[in-house]
Amino acid sequence: MPRVPSPAAAHIGAHIAELRRRRSMTQDQLAVASDIDSSNIRSYENGRSLMNVFSLVRIAEALEATPSELLDGVTSDMFATDRPDARRARPLRR
């Protein structure tokens, strides 16, 4: 089953692309500066993948931004749990 991107991934990816363009960087230049494969940068910017925190920090540093800037506007409801590929939350057992 193909991955369904989350609204959060698309939102963060748009922020990355916008900041990268403002700094006149190509995706390849951002990949080198952040030490992240350029195919991953493309996936993040297109909202196909949601990066881990370590990658978020590295990208933010490469863009001379803060992780908060990349996450600006992201809300918890953007991480929908009704997507077909989302894991179902189970109640904690005591």
Span 33-63, pLDDT tens digits: 999 999 999 999 999 999 999 999 999 999 9
Q: Where are the domains of the chain?
A: 7-69
Task: State both tokens at 22.
Answer: 């403002």
Per the CB < 8 A criterion, the answer to whether 79 and 87 are in contact is no
Position 3 pLDDT exceeds 70: no
Q: What is the pLDDT of residue 2?
A: 46
Query: Is residue 67 very low, low, confident or very high in pLDDT (cuts 50, 70, 90)?
Result: very high
Q: Look at residues 88, 81, 84, 60 and name the one whose alpha carbon lies nearest to residue 72.
A: 60
CATH topology for 7-69?
Answer: 434 Repressor (Amino-terminal Domain) (1.10.260)
Average pLDDT over residues 15-19: 97
pTM for the predicted model, two decimal places = 0.79
CA 88, CA 40: separation in Å to the nearest integer?
26
Task: State both tokens at 30.
Answer: 């951002």
The number of CA neighbours under 13 Å toward the Cβ of 65 is: 23
